[in-house]
């Protein structure tokens, strides 16, 4: 049981999954706001990913600030872009 908890903590914190989840949730909230166009959601997710990658303690601990920012950007875009890709594929033509 201890190994499972270690795996989950490692995945959420050390691998930065928390950044992708945060970017996804923020993207969903932004979709409900009429004054922000949907086309800006991936940009906001990427910027949020950079900020969180650099500032959240215990995420990317052994990395420099540039690498942490790039990894955060990647996770932020992955969360919002992945969701948008699925939505575009589901749309009827």
Mark residue 57 as left, alpha or beta (left: phi above 0; alpha: psi -120 to 50; beta: remaining).
Answer: beta
Confidence (pLDDT) at 40: 84
Confidence (pLDDT) at 50: 92
Confidence (pLDDT) at 1: 60
Question: Mean pLDDT for the chain?
Answer: 81
DSSP letter at 16?
-
Task: Give the chain's domain count.
Answer: 1
Rounded alpha-carbon distances, angstroms, from residue 66 to 27, 50, 93: 24, 9, 41
CB 46, CB 22: distance < 8 Å: no
Q: Domain range for residue 9?
A: 2-90
For the entire predicted model, the pTM comes to 0.74
Confidence (pLDDT) at 93: 59
CB 74, CB 15: distance < 8 Å: no
* 30/80 Cα distance (integer angstroms): 11
pLDDT at 58 over 80: no
């Amino acid at each position: 049981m201890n190994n499972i908890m270690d795996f989950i903590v490692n995945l959420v914190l050390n691998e930065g999954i928390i950044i992708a989840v945060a970017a996804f949730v923020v993207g969903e909230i932004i979709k409900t706001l009429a004054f922000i166009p949907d086309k800006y959601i991936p940009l906001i997710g990427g910027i949020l990913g950079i900020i969180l990658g650099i500032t959240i303690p215990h995420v990317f601990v052994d990395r420099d600030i540039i690498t942490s920012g790039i990894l955060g950007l990647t996770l932020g875009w992955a969360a919002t872009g992945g969701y948008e890709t699925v939505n575009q594929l589901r749309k009827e033509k």
